Every structure is written in structure tokens, then in C-alpha cells.
């Protein structure tokens, strides 16, 4: 990983910062599925004891990014087709409900505020796509979905979506290098916002469903190109 102790801030717990660095390295495929992770090496790299590194790895294990094998070490988890498909299924159920709710159960002012907020994110995504910055594009993608969730005004919805997307994150990042994927996602996001703006729950649900089913197209390609990344 291309960071060191200088990347750590004294005003936040070391474990949470190390968690973020490792998580980003896994999502960006800097750390590859199946790769071993050394607690000792990370502690030296960040200039800390092994305790915060261990805490970070436990957090990563809890969201399915690493696997701790007793007496064998810690490894970056390989892709699980079952977990990816389950996460997609749960996200679709939640996010279709989110956009349907915004389209029909909010007043026009709130609906237009949601649309405006997401249009700004889409504009920033276009810049990231032009720069071929996959990580920035994906961060903005997460922001797009979290912003929509926030307009339901249900506190736990965004957290549930965030928890489920972990199994899809690396595949999503890898998929952005597939030809035309930036354009396809931008078009889908624009379609979702157009449907919400119309006030139609049916159109909003259909647009979100199409967007979240896009992972099927990716899963038809990536396992063939990178079988070593899958369980």
C-alpha cells in the first residue's frame, strides 16, 4: 500500500484510519483477492503497534473484506458469487423502495431538492469519468445512493445499503475498466433522477431496478477474465 505513518492523523483513532486505508486498497484492487496481509508489516508501515492494525482487520473481517484463518494468517477475501448476488438482491429491494418513496411520498420541494443534489453528483461523476478516476467515480456513486437514501428521512436505510454493498464494491470498481461502463452508469443515474422528477413510483422503481441489475452484465465477463479472484 502506498502510504505510511505520515498518512495518519492524531485527531482520530489509528485503527479507524488504518481500516480506511486497507479498505480503499482492497476496493481499488491494490490488494488482490487471496493476497496475504501481514499485521507486522502493516504495523511497521503505519508506525504503530499491532493492536490498531488487528482492530482494523477485525472490522474488515466483519464486512467480508478479509478472512482470518487461525494459524495461517489473514487474507484478502476472494469474490463470492453467492454473496454478491445476495447483496444485489437486498440492495434492489431497499433502493427500489427508496426511489418509489421519494417519487410519491415527499412533497414537490423535497423531491426537487433530491433531484438537484443528485444532479450535482452526476456532474462530478462525469468529471471523474473523463479523468478515468475509478475510485473517485465509485465514491461519487456511493454518494449518489446515500443521498437518495437520506431523502427518505429514515435513519437506518443508508446504513443497511452501505453494509450490503461491501460484497459488490470490488467488482464494481473492477467493472469500471470495462469499455463503456462509465457511460452506462451515468445514463442509468440520469434515468433514475428523471423518473423521480416525474413523480412516478413505477418509473422510478423500474429505473433503479435496471441500474442494480447491471451487475449481471459484469458477472458475465469478470469471472472469465479473472477466475483467480473468485472462490
Closest to 137 (Cα-Cα) out of 151, 150, 123: 123
State pLDDT tens for residues 158-205: 999 988 887 788 888 888 877 789 999 999 999 999 999 999 999 999
Each residue of 82-128: pLDDT tens digit?
989 999 999 999 999 999 999 999 999 999 999 999 999 999 999 99
Cα 63 to chain center, whole Å?
12
Domain residues of the chain, as ranges? 5-76, 81-229
Give strand pairing partners of 37.
74
Average pLDDT of the chain to the nearest whole number: 91
pLDDT at 177: 75
Neighbours of 47 (CB within 10 A): 12
Of 82, 24, 77, 65, the closest CA to residue 166 belongs to 65
d(CA 200, CA 122): 21
Q: Which three cell numbers stand for residue 191?
A: 434515468
- What is the C-alpha to C-alpha distance for residues 110 and 116, in angstroms, rounded to an integer? 10
Spatial distance between the Cα atoms of 99 and 105, rounded to a whole number of angstroms: 10
| Segment 3-27 mean pLDDT | 82
Judge whether residue 6 has pLDDT over 50. no
| Choices 3.40.50.300, 1.20.120.530, 3.40.50.10470, 1.10.3720.10: CATH for 81-229 | 1.20.120.530
Which of 218 and 210 is assigned the larger pLDDT?
210
Task: Decide: residue 35, CB within 10 A, 0-12 exposed, 13-18 middle, 19+ buried.
Answer: middle
User: Residue 170 has what pLDDT?
Assistant: 85
Beta bridge partners of 76: 66
**DSSP-assigned beta bridge partners for residue 36:** 75
Looking at residue 27, what is its pLDDT? 85
Same fold, 5-76 and 81-229: no
**Alpha-carbon Rg of the chain, whole angstroms?**
19
Record: fold of 5-76: Arc Repressor Mutant, subunit A (1.10.10)
Annotate 1-61 with DSSP letters as a single string.
Answer: ----GGG--TTS-HHHHHHHHHHHHHHTTSSPTT-EE-HHHHHHHHTS-HHHHHHHHHHHH
Q: What is the DSSP letter of 78?
A: P
Q: What is the pLDDT of residue 174?
A: 80
| pTM as predicted | 0.85
Interatomic CA distance for residues 227 and 231, integer angstroms: 9
End-to-end CA distance of the chain, in Å?
A: 24
Amino acid at each position: 500500500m502506498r502510504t505510511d505513518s505520515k498518512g495518519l492523523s492524531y485527531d482520530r483513532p489509528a485503527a479507524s484510519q488504518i481500516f480506511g486505508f486497507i479498505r480503499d486498497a482492497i476496493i481499488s484492487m491494490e490488494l488482490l483477492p487471496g493476497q496475504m496481509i501481514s499485521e507486522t508489516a502493516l504495523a511497521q508501515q503505519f508506525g504503530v503497534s499491532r493492536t490498531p492494525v488487528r482492530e482494523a482487520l477485525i472490522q474488515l473481517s466483519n464486512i467480508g473484506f478479509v478472512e482470518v484463518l487461525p494459524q495461517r494468517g489473514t487474507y484478502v477475501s476472494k469474490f463470492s458469487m453467492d454473496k454478491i448476488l445476495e447483496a444485489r438482491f437486498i440492495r434492489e429491494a431497499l433502493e427500489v423502495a427508496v426511489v418509489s418513496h421519494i417519487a410519491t411520498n415527499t412533497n414537490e420541494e423535497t423531491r426537487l431538492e433530491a433531484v438537484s443534489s443528485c444532479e450535482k453528483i452526476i456532474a462530478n461523476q462525469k468529471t471523474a469519468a473523463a479523468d478515468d478516476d475509478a475510485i473517485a467515480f465509485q465514491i461519487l456513486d456511493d454518494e449518489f445512493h446515500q443521498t437518495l437514501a437520506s431523502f427518505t428521512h429514515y435513519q437506518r436505510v443508508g446504513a443497511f445499503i452501505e453494509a450490503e454493498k461491501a460484497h459488490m464494491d470490488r467488482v464494481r470498481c473492477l467493472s469500471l475498466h470495462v469499455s463503456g461502463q462509465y457511460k452506462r452508469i451515468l445514463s442509468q443515474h440520469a434515468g433514475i433522477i428523471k423518473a423521480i422528477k416525474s413523480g412516478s413510483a413505477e418509473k422510478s422503481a423500474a429505473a433503479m431496478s435496471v441500474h442494480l441489475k447491471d451487475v449481471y452484465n459484469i458477472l458475465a465477463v469478470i469471472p472469465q477474465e479473472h477466475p483467480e479472484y473468485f472462490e
